[in-house]
Structure 1
């Protein structure tokens, strides 16, 4: 697989940094963003192929971030919800109409490999 630009958006720096590091080790250009505003600003000059976003962030939550990415880039970006919230959480259910994939934290290597096959 070609190198992809992947944003990992999470207000938990440790979570964002560790997932971005794993994606980098897999050969992708991964960027950790610590909030939705940061990710949207970065996307204006370096458009991602994929955005992995937490749903329950402080400030702009993942649902709003997903909506804005869809509005700006349509289906040209893969959106992946990565959250500690269970699938029956109302915020998560609402996100299902906007995102392409949903992973409950902690994300496993197997899930990442299925999303980005070699």
Structure 2
């Protein structure tokens, strides 16, 4: 394989074709695989690039493939795509060092940005690493907002959060909006990533 190949692993042929076309038009070299097993049987230690993989596939799941790559495979950063995103899956993906977790249908530019982030990380991997500064929100979260946030990232819905904290679902909505605004995140997946990185 050529340097910095994007390896697409998805059981849906139409998705593989569409992603391969999109990436090829942007100058990327691509290789497609219909299953996690197919990819694992073909992968070589010398391959460079990143993997774009679906979570739900027959046989081995995308998260299982990600774990295998992290434990024993070559250094291939992973971008996860899924039509069935949830907090637990997002957290598992990020704990295994996924570059991004993108829910279908997604914007092509969002995927391209994630891929470029993954490949940029490869290009600078040999450079001395600078300590990553822990960032804090410009306006600190209140104690109640932190309570709401901790339940949000566990996947609880508004009514369950309200019952747990003894407040109304409407109040939960207000706190959630403030948490997202203060932390500068647009969705729950981004919030989970921020929390798991220790930046919230």
TM-score past 0.5 threshold: yes
Deviation of 1:107 after TM superposition, in Å, equals 2.7
Aligned ranges 1:7-86 → 2 under 5 Å: 7-44=7-44, 47-73=47-73, 76-86=75-85
- Give the TM-score of the pair, scaled to structure 2: 0.51
Q: 5+ unaligned residues in a row in structure 2: which ranges?
A: 118-200
1:48 and 1:39 map into 2 onto residues whose CA distance is 14
- Which piece of structure 1 moves more, 55-64 or 96-105? 96-105
Distance 1:6 1:46, change over 3 A: farther
1:112 paired residue number: 111
Q: What do the CA deviations read for 1:71-99 (whole angstroms, capped 9, x no partner)? A: 1246x3110110011232x3343222112
Q: 5+ unaligned residues in a row in structure 1: which ranges?
A: none
* Matched residues, number: 113
| SS, match of residue 82 in structure 1 | strand
1:93 paired residue number: 91
- Give the TM-score of the pair, scaled to structure 1: 0.83
Structure having the larger proportion of residues in strand: 1
Deviation of 1:100 after TM superposition, in Å, equals 1.9
| SS, match of residue 31 in structure 1 | strand
Q: Is the 8 A contact 1:11 1:34 kept in 2?
A: yes
Higher CA-based Rg: 2
2:42 and 2:24 map into 1 onto residues whose CA distance is 18
- Which piece of structure 1 moves more, 41-50 or 16-25? 41-50
